[in-house]
Structure 1
Amino acid sequence: MSYKNFPMVPRVIFGRGSFNQLNEIIAPKRLNVNAPFVFLVDDVFKGNAWLTSRIPLSYDDRVIYISAKEEPKTGQVDSLVEDIILTSRQGTSGIIGIGGGTILDLAKAVAIMLTNEGEAKDYQGWDLVKNPAIYHVGIPTISGTGAEVSRTTVLTGPEMKLGINSDFTPFDQVVLDPELTKDVPTHQWFYTGMDCFIHCVESLNGTYLNAFSQSHGEKAFDLCKEIFLNNDLSVSESQDKLMMASWHGGMSIAYSQVGVAHAMSYGLSYLLGTKHGIGNCIVFDHLEEFYPEDVKLFKQMKKKHNIQLPKGICANLDDSQFDTMINISLSLEPLWENAIGKNWKKLITRDKLKSLYQKM
């Protein structure tokens, strides 16, 4: 059998205030004074001097603020790449993403598309990227998505929602500074934290499980239980632990795969624009059949943090819209195979998926 030769993030710095070391980290990577660093920053930080005044700009470096209200799209990647190529006189020294999963995924995709021809949609799938990306750095400001560690960048394209999965996708450097997560609203903290929890559940219950993914998954799973069900953690302890849970959860799925909740939430996201974290929660809430104990835990966490999930989001959909979601979901074959096994097509029928979506 052949084993995954999995690329890891080669350099990571962790600690409260480590963001202040960004200049000394990236300065040696500058190609020349006319090759800027481009900082892609979540626009929630626009006007937030506490963060933006610490972005180490020099020469022609640029900050591009990006809204994370919608999931990242292939067309958005293409227009960012075009803009960066047109405004950089002698190439680009690097792309630095500062934000949540949406911004980190865009930063990875832009870094890839600066060295690969064509459009981002041409690379949605597995191992289609030919050339190494330019230097890229990930700085999460919210924890849970695992985007800082994964070899994928999940994009919604004209045809499908699917990642650019490649060995060239992972960041060259990650800065894990838990302080940057201090202003995350409670509901947002919960949804991305549950993205991490669901990563662990799907990895630990999957047929692709192995000792490598299990050791990371179990660590992240235990951290999630501690963070979301324990009253004794201080705010800063909770921030530190969730940042590490996100890292371990991302490592766990990187060496295995996700499962039913992710496969179905991609459908919601593609058709309805549902954000990834909340989409996973909406789906997971109905998956007792697949993950009975873990859905029970999830409901406890939801109750403890007083989270009301949207209901009836599929209530007014017609058959063709259900078909669209089901097609997207069924196209994610590795996820289903991990969740159910090689014979998943016998169990996961279109009618089965439709009846699940109808409950949401």
Structure 2
Amino acid sequence: MKFKNFQVVPKMIFGRGSFVQLDEVLAAERKHADDFVVFVVDNVHQGKPLESRIPVKSQDILLWVDVTDEPTTVQVDGLTEQVQKFSHKLPVSVVGIGGGATMDLSKAVSLMLTNEGGSAKYQGWDLIKNPSIHHIGIPTISGTGAEASRTAVLCGPERKLGLNSDYTVFNQIIMDSELLAGVPTEQWFYTGMDCWIHCVESLEGTFLNEFSRAYAEKSLELCRQVFIENDPNKDDKLMMASFMGGMSIAYSQVGACHAVSYGLAYVLGYHHGIGNCIAFNVLDEFYPEYMDEFRGMMKQHKIQLPQNICKDLPDETIAAMVKVTKSMGPLWANVYGDSWQEKVTDEMLTKLFRRI
């Protein structure tokens, strides 16, 4: 039996106000006067107080990114080209500041600066050949676990799939819960539910082990304190739940909900958080013990999910979603085991999508 040998984030800073230490962290990477840093920042922060706090030096490049839509391989390749045109040198660090989509973009750019051929070439598992540029993740919304994960999820020419690699893992993360202030309620809920769903899929999967269980159970406990008990320290708790939820799937895998949501995202453009919630809401046969809790949290926070979005779609649109969802082999293996292909049929997935 061969055991998984995976990379974890080697350095992390946690605590309210810790963002101020970013300049100090970057100073350790800057060895020469012309060493530069690439900042990849969600444009929602443009013109806001956080912008003035980003420690950009005169030789650095700041890239504002629009994550209104799901991040794509085309977007990554465009950002990479901007950096390459900016300097003949490689940067000493790439810093991602934002939610999961922004952090995934920064991860992908750090990889594409040292791996040729465009990011679509590396969608899959362990296809990256060369180590990335040093990269730092700083979440300003919590739940995706992107700060902890070994993937950068992108929509490519054929499907939505991550750049899954040990080289994808951040070299450093800074978790400052002060940065979560002002997140709209629906976005806060949908992104937080991504974390909750990570834990459910980990705990209910065939890949479950005590490593994954320990992180998933604690993360789930924290999520309940945030979304059910409204704990006064809910920002700190959600930030830790997000990290631990990401760790829970690092030694296991996500499951049916993520597989279905990838189809929704790729074909219909739904963002990851709301896509997961839409998918989870019809997966009673997969996760029956958790449905009442999920729907109770939606009711508590007055969340109304879109209804009947796939009911009357053309057959070819449903078929496109089925194709993407069915291609997620490792996710379905976590649901059903090695015999997953016998159960994950076009007919089964078509019926499932028609219920959404």
Equivalent residue letter for 2:307: K
User: Residues 205-238 of structure 1: CA distance to partner in whole angstroms, max 9, x if unpaired?
Assistant: 000000101100100011111111114x22xx00
Aligned counterpart, 2:135: 136
Q: Secondary structure at the match of 1:168?
A: helix
Equivalences for residues 1-360 of structure 1 within 5 A: 1-48=1-48, 50-231=49-230, 233-234=231-232, 237-360=233-356
Q: Distance in 2 between matches of 1:139 and 1:294?
A: 30
Q: Is the 8 A contact 1:116 1:130 kept in 2?
A: yes
User: Residues 50-72 of structure 1: CA distance to partner in whole angstroms, max 9, x if unpaired?
Assistant: 21111111131121111111111
Q: Is the 8 A contact 1:36 1:94 kept in 2?
A: yes
Equivalent residue letter for 1:170: V
Q: Distance in 1 between matches of 2:272 and 2:241?
A: 18
Kindly state the Cα deviation for residue 247 of structure 1 after the two structures are TM-superposed.
0.4
Q: Distance in 1 between matches of 2:9 and 2:157?
A: 30
User: Residues 129-161 of structure 1: CA distance to partner in whole angstroms, max 9, x if unpaired?
Assistant: 110000100000000000001000001001111
Q: Is the 8 A contact 1:203 1:213 kept in 2?
A: yes
Using structure 2 for the length normalisation, give the TM-score.
0.98
| CA RMSD between the two structures | 1.0
Q: Is the 8 A contact 2:144 2:194 kept in 1?
A: yes
Equivalent residue letter for 1:168: Y
Kindly state the Cα deviation for residue 92 of structure 1 after the two structures are TM-superposed.
1.1
Q: Is the 8 A contact 2:108 2:168 kept in 1?
A: yes
User: Residues 272-292 of structure 1: CA distance to partner in whole angstroms, max 9, x if unpaired?
Assistant: 110000000001001110101
User: Residues 85-142 of structure 1: CA distance to partner in whole angstroms, max 9, x if unpaired?
Assistant: 1112432121100000100000000000000111100000011111000010000000
Kindly state the Cα deviation for residue 31 of structure 1 after the two structures are TM-superposed.
4.2
Q: Distance in 1 between matches of 2:245 and 2:286?
A: 19
Equivalent residue letter for 2:319: D
Q: Is the 8 A contact 2:153 2:160 kept in 1?
A: yes
Q: Distance in 1 between matches of 2:261 and 2:33?
A: 44
Q: Distance in 2 between matches of 1:88 and 1:296?
A: 54
Equivalent residue letter for 1:52: E
Q: Distance in 2 between matches of 1:97 and 1:200?
A: 24
**After TM superposition, what 4+ stretches of structure 1 lie above 3 angstroms from structure 2?**
none
Using structure 1 for the length normalisation, give the TM-score.
0.97
Q: Distance in 1 between matches of 2:116 and 2:25?
A: 29
Q: Secondary structure at the match of 1:146?
A: coil
Deviates more, 1:26-35 or 1:4-13: 26-35
User: Residues 272-328 of structure 1: CA distance to partner in whole angstroms, max 9, x if unpaired?
Assistant: 110000000001001110101111110010000010001122133211111111111
Equivalent residue letter for 1:261: C
Q: Secondary structure at the match of 2:53?
A: coil
Q: Distance in 2 between matches of 1:138 and 1:176?
A: 9
**Among the aligned pairs, what percent are the same residue?**
54
Kindly state the Cα deviation for residue 30 of structure 1 after the two structures are TM-superposed.
1.6
Q: Distance in 2 between matches of 1:90 and 1:168?
A: 20
Q: Which runs of 5+ in 1 are unaligned?
A: none
Q: Distance in 1 between matches of 2:158 and 2:67?
A: 21
Equivalent residue letter for 2:3: Y
Q: Is the 8 A contact 2:140 2:180 kept in 1?
A: yes
Q: Which runs of 5+ in 2 are unaligned?
A: none
User: Residues 186-214 of structure 1: CA distance to partner in whole angstroms, max 9, x if unpaired?
Assistant: 00000011000000000000000001011
